[in-house]
């Protein structure tokens, strides 16, 4: 067995894959620009008030997506796994809030002027707070048990296995909810003062544009929760522990951090945020059914990736951006509203092709040497 | 017995009680009792409830399992019994309290079905063993006593004499098998493999003509899923790429067949075989389009992206945008079946033959690829893509190849599927389909043909048989996925490595061969 | 004078704020054993990664028999005759030893998936050749009989040999060995060292070695370069490098040269007095 004594063969480089990718990108970009030009430049049938409405709804849904996206990013940062069942945790929160509001609706309290009001109408603020509190609590508990039962035993397994387990857990939770509550879609009954559709009216362009109460509540509350979470991560001991476990589990353990406890707490927090998002969804969109978590879950994951997976401000930014893109997108591109979900998926694919780091994040999505 | 242990064991019991409560909330117990009653011969009328004794049997079995599970790890036998008593008592108390709540609900006549859809008054009464007020006490009793018995059971099962049974049974079976095969004439023994295939071949040809169209339908479905499973296995099991949108390739095949072989919406009637070819080609094209940009992505990302891709395809097929092209939400009907030399070949028996031929082809191609230079390159990529690349393997090209070949299998299956059902629509190509195929591969056994066959049977064959479980099928499926990953991640029928997996004793010195001479010739 | 197999020309590799390799120049002649040594973190493995294509250097060129190879993909570099082993052993753990070597043989053959499915003459021929060649290689590295064992079940020393065997499968002209004797006892180290010499002498392979075991380095290297903090601080044969004060200081810290001299003097005086 001799080493090659022949001359070194000419070394050919192949640029084809990169060229294909760049070509593809340019085509997509041109398509988008063309559509935008058509809509804005040529047809111009959408007036400012329409854009205003879309903007509002985009910001609202963006808040919801941000909260769920943070959950994905937290879990991914700490376990390097995609919590496929996170959408179902949101669904649990939505249902919990629903049940609370149903309960408060059916309890009647006497009022000073001797009429009977439901508890939820007599004390709407307390009812809503209660709905959020219990929604977040139950969702947090679900997240905790999810990790304990379906993920913890698989901590050391190759990546494929926990993902399958997560998929199984997601299917399980969905169907459990379906069996428990029937496949029927239910309506959230908000307390009267924040019923859906009610809000402050503004006049834009001679058209009435409503700033819905539920929308404002959702947006403000999500911002508050995001600020709270960010502060917690940056300033508290728990936050520091979470960050260190995310960076290097072994070293964190050597420093005396109980890794299992931190992981549990991460799931609890991400569950609570998803639960809040779920209740917001219910209040604003009004629907709850067993499958309600699936699409928001995937879209929120897209948002987390868009912002940079593992990066918390990135998840917040990604969520908002995705909400806006989803809301404004179909109209801006002149395509049917039916296809708005396609926009999210396409964004996901496009981001992962061209900028897997996300907007703010690190390159966790490509193979490392 | 100290306080801590008391707490621990009562917690164990509590867990089981909570599980039971959850089961009751979805009326699982009624279904199970119905199954038990069917097994024992008493049929239950549709929509009716099983008789009380079967509910009792269910509860007893459950508590026995609880007792056994809790007790089995405890060393000391008498402590075992006391501990289980504690656990069963706590479980019984909780379940009894729950029963009290149920009873008061029945008494007050409130219909909780507005919120808890499964709790009908009848099923609640059945759970309380038709004993109204005494129901809760009965539950307490059943749980406590049966749980205790479960611990006794665990003692028996772990006793030296009984614990040897599995082994003695195994040796008994294998020795009987030896005797049988030993007493066969040498002619049969020498050509055993050939004869086995011959028998199998005869069975395959004769059976579909005998056992009715329903069985043919199920077999065909199982066969299609075997083809799909093998295709996905090439992608996931051999080259290590996790793909969650496999149904998209299936859809390519199905819709190609539909569009090219049905009167609407285009009036093209190209015939089965050309449409089949186009279906496979379209699936491969889709694989190339999906694969080229995705090659650099890491595992879970690739999974989500392929999921997104699959969903995009489904939404587009369902949308009004493409309904002129692909039939929209209603799909495409009246797809014609295959013809051979001009004669229609599309009744259920003939389709079964076709699908079995497809399965044989798939297994053949898979085996050939697995043991080849290409197959080895895939396995290397799966193990360590970076080292594989540094060894001279073009990772991107090979990954794309795996994706395309797997997609081709799916396209084939899709075309068959559409032609056999004579219809296809967007609902045939949902995420659940992809997940089902993935489960077949992973739960059945990755890289294992018998495993995939077993998986396909279990997933598609069984539910057809267990009709009672229809409502709970997905629930059990999800739970099974989680359970399998924890308990048996290698699958139900793991792949046997073609070569031996010997373990070397740790004190073997470096450089010394375990034996003289060249054993590998 | 041998042709220059590898020329590293002003190569720098920068990670964000850290310059791991700083304008390093090396000329490695064909059919020699060339060692690269230096304290931990000096950039030796990073340099290897640049040569084998894992990293693209920010500055500089790497020439393989006169052709530029920096920035090429690792599979291309492997296919033109540069193979390597790894500091932390990267075998295909769940495959057998024989399969590992067969994968090393991948670039030598050409049958593709179509050949595999139809069992074309080319496939049948190459399949037989692959198996035979793999067994020959296994014997060559002294692992006859280990073929059917899964790689992760093998003892550590055997794994290292197997990795070298896999690297040799492609008949490379250059072999990059990253700490091949790490974790070995004296006997294993000795046999590995002999083996490396055999590769150079019998097969004419140019060996580039990263090593920490100074006896190995000084014993078999034709030429040595020393890196410290990414920069080459010395080059020469064993004697030259050993006595170079900069090298001593790199390993022992500032003032190390003086310390080393003191110990040398003491040793010499001890030897004299006996």
CB B247 within 8 A of CB B434: yes
CA distance B302 to chain A (A): 9
CB A286 within 8 A of CB A187: yes
**What string of DSSP letters covers B59-101?**
HHHHHHHHHHHHHTT-SSHHHHHHHHHHHHHHHHHHHHHHHHH
Looking at the structure of chain A, the number of domains it has is 1
**Is residue A80 situated within a structural domain?**
yes
Task: Choose the most confident range, by mean pLDDT, from B153-157, B189-193, B378-382.
Answer: B378-382
User: pLDDT tens digit string along B365-414?
Assistant: 999 999 999 999 999 999 888 899 999 899 989 999 999 999 999 999 99
B174 Cβ contact partners less than 8 Å away, ≥ 6 residues apart? none
Q: How many CB pairs under 8 A join A and B?
A: 160
* pLDDT at residue A7, rounded to an integer: 46
What is the extent of the structural domain holding A146? 47-298
Q: Which chains touch A (3 or more CB pairs under 8 A)?
A: B, C
> Using CA atoms, how far apart are residues A270 and A274, in angstroms rounded to an integer?
6
Residue A2 and residue C76: Cβ atoms within 8 Å?
no
**Is residue A341 situated within a structural domain?**
no
CB C237 within 8 A of CB C62: no
CA distance C205 to chain A (A): 7
**Is residue A53 situated within a structural domain?**
yes
Residue A179 and residue B471: Cβ atoms within 8 Å?
yes
**What string of DSSP letters covers C199-234?**
HHHHH--EEEEE---HHHHHHH-SEEEEEETTEEEE
Kindly list the residues from chain B whose CB atom is less than 8 angstroms away from the CB atom of residue C158. 504, 510-511
* pLDDT at residue B80, rounded to an integer: 81
* pLDDT at residue A361, rounded to an integer: 67
Closest residue in C to A1 (Cα) is C203
A241: burial class by Cβ within 10 Å (0-12, 13-18, 19+)? Answer: buried
Q: Does B407 touch chain C (CB under 8 A)?
A: no
User: pLDDT tens digit string along A263-317?
Assistant: 999 999 999 999 999 999 999 998 899 999 999 998 999 899 888 887 888 899 9
User: pLDDT tens digit string along A212-245?
Assistant: 999 999 999 999 999 999 999 999 999 999 999 9
- pLDDT tens, N- to C-terminus, chain A (369 residues): 333 334 445 555 556 666 776 777 788 788 888 877 777 776 666 777 888 888 999 999 999 999 999 999 999 989 988 899 999 999 999 999 999 999 888 888 887 777 777 888 888 888 999 999 999 999 999 999 999 999 999 998 887 889 889 999 999 999 999 999 989 899 988 888 888 888 888 887 778 888 899 999 999 999 999 999 999 999 999 999 999 998 888 899 998 899 999 999 999 999 999 999 999 999 999 889 999 999 999 899 989 988 888 788 889 999 999 999 999 888 877 777 777 888 888 888 888 777 777 777 654 433 333
Residue C140 and residue A1: Cβ atoms within 8 Å?
yes
Query: Scanning the structure block, which residue is given the tokens 């028998």?
Result: B199
CA distance B291 to chain A (A): 11
**Which residues numbered 211-230 in C keep a CB inside 8 Å of some CB on B?**
none
- Out of 3.90.1570.10, 3.90.1150.10, 3.40.50.300, 1.10.1370.30, the CATH code matching C4-81+172-243 is 3.40.50.300
Residue B170 neighbours by CB distance under 10 Å: 10
**Which residues numbered 160-179 in A keep a CB inside 8 Å of some CB on B?**
160-165, 167-176, 179
Element containing residue B48 per DSSP (H, E): none
Kindly list the residues from chain B whose CB atom is less than 8 angstroms away from the CB atom of residue A180. 25-26, 116-118
CB C228 within 8 A of CB C238: no
The three-point CA angle C214-C216-C221 to 5° equals 100
Q: Is B410 helix (H, G, I), strand (E, B) or coil?
A: helix
Query: Scanning the structure block, which residue is given the tokens 């049948």?
Result: C124
CB A196 within 8 A of CB A288: no
Rounded to two decimals, the ipTM of the complex is 0.89
* pLDDT at residue B401, rounded to an integer: 96
Kindly list the residues from chain B whose CB atom is less than 8 angstroms away from the CB atom of residue A83. none
Residue C225 or residue B335, greater confidence: C225
> In 3-state terms, chain A is what percent helix, strand and coil (to 5)?
70, 5, 25
CA distance A308 to chain C (A): 19
**Is residue A191 situated within a structural domain?**
yes
Query: Helices marked H in chain C — which ranges?
Result: 44-52, 74-79, 97-104, 113-118, 121-140, 156-168, 186-203, 214-220, 238-243, 245-252, 256-273
- pLDDT tens, N- to C-terminus, chain C (274 residues): 578 888 999 999 998 888 889 999 999 999 999 999 988 888 899 999 999 989 999 999 999 998 899 888 888 899 889 999 998 899 998 899 999 999 999 998 988 999 999 999 999 999 999 999 999 999 999 898 888 888 988 888 899 999 999 999 999 999 999 999 988 889 989 989 999 999 999 999 999 999 988 889 988 999 999 998 889 999 998 888 888 888 888 887 777 777 777 877 888 888 776 5
In this structure, what DSSP letter does residue A113 have? T
**Is residue A14 situated within a structural domain?**
no
Say yes or no to pLDDT of B330 above 90. no
Closest residue in B to A338 (Cα) is B319
Considering only CB atoms, A353 lies closest to which of B293, B311, B438, namely B293
* pLDDT at residue B415, rounded to an integer: 92
Residue A341 neighbours by CB distance under 10 Å: 17
* pLDDT at residue A267, rounded to an integer: 96
**Is residue A214 situated within a structural domain?**
yes
User: pLDDT band at residue B501, thresholds of 50, 70 and 90?
Assistant: low
> Using CA atoms, how far apart are residues A82 and B13, in angstroms rounded to an integer?
33
Q: What is the mean pLDDT of residues B161-188?
A: 83
Average pLDDT over all residues of chain B: 84
CA distance B256 to chain C (A): 25
Residue B435 and residue A167: Cβ atoms within 8 Å?
yes
Query: Scanning the structure block, which residue is given the tokens 């009848």?
Result: B122
pTM of the model: 0.85
Considering only CB atoms, B485 lies closest to which of A24, A154, A349, namely A154
Kindly list the residues from chain B whose CB atom is less than 8 angstroms away from the CB atom of residue A339. 315-316, 319, 321
* pLDDT at residue B509, rounded to an integer: 43
Q: Does B386 touch chain C (CB under 8 A)?
A: yes
Residue C104 neighbours by CB distance under 10 Å: 29
CA distance A326 to chain C (A): 35
**What sign results for the dihedral spanned by CA atoms B285, B287, B292, B293?**
positive
Residue B509 or residue B120, greater confidence: B120
Residue A367 and residue B303: Cβ atoms within 8 Å?
no
Say yes or no to pLDDT of B511 above 50. no
Where does CATH 3.40.50.300 sit in chain C? 4-81+172-243
Considering only CB atoms, A11 lies closest to which of C49, C69, C173, namely C69
């Amino acid at each position: 067995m001799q080493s090659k004594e022949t001359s070194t063969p000419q070394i050919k480089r192949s640029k084809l894959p990169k060229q294909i990718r760049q070509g593809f990108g340019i085509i997509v970009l041109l398509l988008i620009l063309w559509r935008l030009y058509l809509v804005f430049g040529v047809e111009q049938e959408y007036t400012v008030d329409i854009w205003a409405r879309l903007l509002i709804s985009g910001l609202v849904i963006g808040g919801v997506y941000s909260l769920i996206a943070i959950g994905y990013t937290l879990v991914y940062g700490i376990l390097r796994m995609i919590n496929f069942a996170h959408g179902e945790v949101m669904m649990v929160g939505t249902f919990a809030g629903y049940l609370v509001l149903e309960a408060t609706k059916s309890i009647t309290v006497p009022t000073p002027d001797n009429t009977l009001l439901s508890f939820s109408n007599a004390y709407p603020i307390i009812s809503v707070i209660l709905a959020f509190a219990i929604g977040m609590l139950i969702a947090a508990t679900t997240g905790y048990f999810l990790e304990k039962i379906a993920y913890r035993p698989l901590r050391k397994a190759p990546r494929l296995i926990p993902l399958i387990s997560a998929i199984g857990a997601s299917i399980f939770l969905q169907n459990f909810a379906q069996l428990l509550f029937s496949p029927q879609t239910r309506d959230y009954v908000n307390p009267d003062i924040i019923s859906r559709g009610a809000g402050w009216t503004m006049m834009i362009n001679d058209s009435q544009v409503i700033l819905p109460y539920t929308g404002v509540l959702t947006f403000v509350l999500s911002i508050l929760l995001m600020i709270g979470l960010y502060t917690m991560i940056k300033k508290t001991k728990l936050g520091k522990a979470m960050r260190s476990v995310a960076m290097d589990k072994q070293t964190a353990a050597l420093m005396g951090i109980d890794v299992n406890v931190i992981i549990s707490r991460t799931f609890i927090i991400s569950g609570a945020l998803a639960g809040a998002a779920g209740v917001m969804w219910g209040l604003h969109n009004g629907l709850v059914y067993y499958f309600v978590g699936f699409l928001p879950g995937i879209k929120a994951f897209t948002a987390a990736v868009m912002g940079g997976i593992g990066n918390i401000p990135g998840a917040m930014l990604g969520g908002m951006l995705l909400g806006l893109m989803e809301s404004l997108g179909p109209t801006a591109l002149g395509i049917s509203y039916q296809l708005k979900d396609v926009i999210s998926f396409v964004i996901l694919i496009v981001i992962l092709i061209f900028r897997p780091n996300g907007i703010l994040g690190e390159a966790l999505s490509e193979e490392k040497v | 017995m100290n306080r801590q242990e008391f707490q621990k064991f009562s917690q164990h019991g509590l867990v089981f009680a909570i599980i039971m409560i959850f089961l009751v909330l979805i009326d699982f117990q009624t279904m199970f009792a119905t199954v038990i009653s069917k097994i024992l011969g008493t049929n239950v009328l549709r929509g009716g409830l099983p008789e009380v004794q079967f509910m009792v049997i269910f509860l007893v079995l459950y508590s026995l399992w609880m007792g056994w599970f809790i007790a089995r790890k405890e060393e000391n036998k008498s402590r075992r019994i006391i501990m289980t008593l504690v656990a069963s008592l706590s479980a019984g108390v909780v379940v009894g309290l729950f029963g009290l709540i149920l009873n008061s609900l029945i008494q007050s006549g409130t219909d909780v079905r507005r919120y808890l859809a499964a709790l009908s008054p009848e099923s609640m009464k059945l759970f309380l063993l038709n004993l109204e007020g005494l129901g809760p006490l009965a539950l307490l009793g059943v749980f406590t006593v049966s749980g205790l018995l479960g611990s006794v059971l665990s003692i028996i099962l772990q006793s030296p004499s009984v614990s040897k049974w599995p082994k003695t049974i195994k040796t008994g079976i294998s020795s009987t098998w030896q005797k049988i095969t030993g007493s066969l004439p040498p002619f049969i023994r020498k050509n055993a493999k050939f004869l086995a295939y011959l028998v199998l071949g005869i069975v395959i040809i004769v059976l579909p003509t005998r056992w009715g169209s329903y069985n043919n339908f199920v077999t065909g479905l199982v066969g299609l899923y075997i083809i799909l499973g093998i295709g996905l296995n090439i992608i996931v099991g051999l080259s290590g790429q996790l793909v969650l949108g496999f149904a998209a390739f299936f859809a390519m095949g199905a819709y190609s067949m539909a569009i090219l072989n049905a009167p609407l919406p285009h009036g093209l009637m190209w015939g089965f075989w050309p449409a089949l070819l186009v279906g496979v080609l379209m699936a491969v094209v889709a694989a190339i389009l999906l694969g080229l940009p995705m090659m650099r992505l890491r595992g879970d990302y690739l999974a989500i992206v392929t999921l997104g891709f699959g969903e995009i395809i489904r939404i587009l097929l369902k949308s009004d945008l493409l309904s002129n092209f692909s039939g929209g939400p209603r799909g495409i009907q009246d797809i014609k079946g295959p013809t051979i030399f001009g004669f229609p070949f599309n009744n259920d028996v003939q389709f079964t033959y076709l699908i079995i031929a497809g399965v044989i082809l798939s297994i053949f191609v898979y085996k050939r690829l697995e043991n080849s230079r290409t197959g080895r390159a895939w396995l290397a990529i799966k193990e360590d893509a970076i080292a594989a690349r540094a060894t001279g393997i073009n990772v991107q090209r090979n990954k794309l190849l795996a994706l395309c070949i797997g997609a081709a299998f799916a396209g084939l299956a899709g075309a068959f599927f559409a032609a056999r059902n004579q219809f296809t629509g967007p609902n045939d190509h949902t995420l659940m389909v992809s997940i089902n195929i993935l489960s077949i591969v992973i739960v059945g056994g990755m890289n294992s043909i018998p495993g995939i066959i077993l998986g396909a049977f279990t997933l598609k064959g069984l539910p057809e048989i267990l009709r009672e479980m229809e409502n709970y099928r997905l629930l059990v499926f999800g739970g099974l996925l989680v359970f399998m990953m924890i308990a048996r991640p290698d699958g139900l029928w793991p792949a046997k490595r073609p070569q031996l997996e010997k373990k070397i004793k740790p004190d073997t010195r470096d450089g010394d061969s375990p034996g003289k001479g060249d054993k590998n010739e | 004078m041998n042709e220059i197999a590898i020329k590293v020309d002003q190569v720098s590799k920068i990670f964000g704020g850290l310059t791991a390799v700083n304008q390093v120049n090396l000329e490695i002649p064909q059919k020699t054993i060339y060692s690269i040594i230096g304290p931990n973190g000096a950039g030796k493995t990073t340099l290897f990664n640049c040569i084998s294509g894992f990293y693209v250097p920010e500055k500089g060129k790497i020439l393989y028999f006169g052709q530029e190879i920096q920035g090429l993909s690792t599979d291309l570099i492997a296919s033109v005759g540069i193979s390597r082993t790894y500091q932390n052993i990267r075998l295909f753990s769940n495959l057998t030893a024989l399969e590992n070597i067969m994968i090393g043989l991948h670039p030598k053959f050409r049958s593709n998936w179509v050949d595999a499915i139809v069992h074309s003459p080319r496939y049948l021929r190459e399949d037989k050749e692959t198996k035979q060649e793999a067994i020959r290689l296994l014997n060559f590295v002294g692992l006859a009989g280990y073929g059917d064992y899964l790689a992760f079940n093998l003892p550590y020393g055997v794994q290292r040999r197997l990795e070298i065997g896999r690297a040799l499968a492609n008949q490379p002209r250059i072999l990059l060995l990253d700490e091949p004797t790490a974790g070995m006892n004296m006997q294993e180290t000795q046999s590995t060292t002999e083996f490396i010499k055999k590769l150079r002498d019998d097969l004419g392979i140019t060996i580039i070695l990263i090593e920490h075991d100074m006896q190995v380095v000084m014993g078999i290297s034709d030429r040595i370069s020393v890196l410290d903090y990414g920069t080459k601080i010395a080059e020469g044969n064993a004697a030259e490098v050993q006595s170079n004060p900069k090298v001593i200081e790199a390993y022992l810290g500032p003032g190390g040269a003086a310390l080393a001299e003191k110990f040398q003097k003491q040793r010499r005086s001890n030897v004299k007095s006996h």
